[in-house]
Structure formats: C-alpha cells, structure tokens
C-alpha cells in the first residue's frame, strides 16, 4: 500500500502538479465548482422529493438536476483524485479522509436505495438522509484542507 | 409534514457541527504572537501544493513545521533537496496556540548555518 501510494506521488503528472503555480489552484477551483454543482442539485432534488419545492414538476427537475449532479460528482472525483495523489501517503494516513470517503459511500448506497424504492414515504426519508449527508461530505472535505 | 421538515432541518444543523480537530495553517490566527525556535532532526520534507511542510523530531516527538506554498518556499531557496532525513534544522516561527499541538509555522529555517527566509517580512531584523 505504502509503495503504491509512493509511486502515485512519483508519476510525472503528479510531480508537475505538486509544485505548479497555476495547475493546482485550477484543479482546486474545479473541485469546488464540481462540489458546488453536485451539492446544490442534490439539495434541490431532495427538497422536491420531500415536498418543500412544489412549483416545478418532479420529473423535469430530476431529469435536469440528476445530470448536473452526476457530472459534478465525476468532476469532483477526478479533481479530488489529482489533489489526493500529490500527498497520497499523508492523506491515506488521515482518519478524516477515510471518514469523508465512508460518508460518500453511505451517500452512494442511499442514492442506490432511492433509485430502487418507490414508496413515497421511503423516498422522502432517503431524501432527508441525502440532504444531510452531502453537505456533511462537503464540510468534512473542507476540514481536510486544514488539518494536514 | 411540517414536523418532518423541522426534524430534517435540525438533523442538517446537527450534522453541520461535528467536533473537529483544531484548525491549522491558513494565516497566523492559530499561532502564538511571539516567535519560537525549534531545533530538531528532519523526519520528512514536502515542498509542494497546497503548502510545504517539514517534520522535525525533537526528543522523540515529531513536530509538524509548516512552511509556505511551494512558490514562496522555493523562492526562499528552500527545496526538497535542501534537507534530507537526519539533518539538523532550526526552525524559527510561531507555534500553535494549543500547547498540546506539536505544530508551528516557520518564518525562517536554518540548515547547516544557512538561513532560508520563508516569510521574509516576518523575520525580525538582525
């Protein structure tokens, strides 16, 4: 594991990113953009499912925002992986990093359950879980940058 | 429905306030006002984004010495090749307000008599 993480840090692209003046802040900014789009669309979808937003029909809203959320998630994973790779060994040694990944895993399972279940009451509960989980992931992620 | 909404809001607020470790490294608000000097041997060095760090072992305890982002750190002359594990280093800077936290932010790092001014404007005039 140590050697794998160490060799990730030694990749030419990652070594360039490590000391770059422009690229790293750009990757960081894209991560913020991606997370912003993801969390915002998740909250809007959850509020629609819970019933707080009623002005737009659920299907149209979900069709649009699910794409934004999935696109944001993909970009967040890509940019997050790049920043992780710069200090892979250190991040892998931080409990907070694994708490964040664990929370993302739980949020993923929650999404899976939501996609499979049809009962209205259950969907609302899962939306309630989602609306708490994703901002928590954001918060934990932000704290990661302050404890290394 | 109303009660569910209030419950969800309360859950969101609760989740937003987890107990997290002391904040570090952005700015100087988390450090003591007066300067502090630490002498130790290098455990590891990282000069890269988002900021450079130096781990120093002092009497069996490892201290995290924070430097600047890679740009200013390299501009001071300090690179990852400047020190290697086992080298003796003197770090001058400000330590964490939390006395239990073995962490400081260096304004100057001295290696083998050569000084690297990481934050030149914060180094007191000699």
Q: Which of B15, B24, B50 sits opposite A136 (nearest CB)?
A: B15
| Number of domains comprising chain B | 1
Radius of gyration of chain A from its Cα atoms, rounded to whole angstroms: 17
**Interface membership of B62 toward A (CB under 8 Å):** no
**pLDDT score recorded for residue B95:** 95
Cross-chain residue pair B24–A28, CB shorter than 8 Å: no
Residue of B nearest to A132 (CA): B12
Cross-chain residue pair B25–A17, CB shorter than 8 Å: no
Q: Are residues B102 and B60 in contact, defined by beta-carbon separation less than 8 angstroms?
A: no
Can you tell me the mean pLDDT for B105-115? 96
Residue of A nearest to B14 (CA): A132
For residue A71, the distance in angstroms to the closest alpha carbon of chain B comes to 24
**pLDDT score recorded for residue A120:** 93
Structure tokens that stand for B84 in this block: 């290697």
Distance CA B65, CA B30 (A): 13
Residue B10: CB atoms within 10 A of its CB come to 11
Q: Which of A24, A135, A147 sits opposite B12 (nearest CB)?
A: A135
A19, A48, A106, best to mutate vs chain B, most B CBs in 10 Å: A19
CA angle B71, B75, B76 (to 5 degrees): 125
Q: How confident is the model at residue B126 (pLDDT cuts 50, 70, 90)?
A: low
Residue B102 clears pLDDT 90, i.e. is over it: yes
Cross-chain residue pair A96–B20, CB shorter than 8 Å: yes
CA angle A4, A6, A10 (to 5 degrees): 110
**Interface membership of B24 toward A (CB under 8 Å):** yes
Averages of pLDDT over runs of 10 residues in chain A (148 residues) are: 90 94 96 98 98 95 97 98 96 96 98 94 97 97 85
Q: Which residue range is the domain that position B58 belongs to?
A: 2-122
Residue B52 clears pLDDT 60, i.e. is over it: yes
Cross-chain residue pair B4–A21, CB shorter than 8 Å: no
Cross-chain residue pair A132–B15, CB shorter than 8 Å: yes
Q: What's phi and psi for B58, nearest 5 deg? A: -125, 110
| Digit-coded pLDDT (tens) for B57-68 | 999 999 999 999
Looking at residue B103, which CATH number applies to its domain?
A: 2.40.50.1010
């Amino acid at each position: 594991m140590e050697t794998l993480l160490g060799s990730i840090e030694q990749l030419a692209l990652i070594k360039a990113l490590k000391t770059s003046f422009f690229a790293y802040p750009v990757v960081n900014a894209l991560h913020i953009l991606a997370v912003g789009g993801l969390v915002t669309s998740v909250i809007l979808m959850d509020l629609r499912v819970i019933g707080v937003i009623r002005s737009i029909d659920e299907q149209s809203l979900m069709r649009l925002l699910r794409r934004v959320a999935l696109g944001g998630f993909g970009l967040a994973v890509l940019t997050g992986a790049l920043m992780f790779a710069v200090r892979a060994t250190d991040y892998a040694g931080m409990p907070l990093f694994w708490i964040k990944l664990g929370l993302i895993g739980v949020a993923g399972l929650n999404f899976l359950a939501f996609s499979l279940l049809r009962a209205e009451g259950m969907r609302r509960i899962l939306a309630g879980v989602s609306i708490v989980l994703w901002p928590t992931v954001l918060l934990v992620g932000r704290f990661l940058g302050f404890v290394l | 429905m109303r009660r569910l909404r209030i419950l969800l809001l309360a859950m969101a607020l609760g989740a937003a306030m987890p107990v997290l470790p002391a904040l570090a490294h952005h700015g100087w608000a988390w450090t003591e006002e007066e300067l502090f000097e630490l002498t130790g041997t290098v455990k590891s060095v990282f000069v890269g984004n988002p900021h450079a760090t130096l781990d120093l072992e002092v009497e069996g305890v490892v201290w995290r010495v924070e430097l600047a982002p890679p740009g200013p750190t390299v501009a001071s002359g300090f690179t990852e090749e400047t020190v290697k594990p086992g080298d003796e280093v003197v770090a001058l800077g400000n330590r964490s307000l939390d006395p239990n936290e073995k962490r400081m932010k260096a304004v100057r790092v001295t290696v083998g008599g050569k000084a690297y001014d990481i934050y030149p404007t914060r180094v007191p005039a000699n």
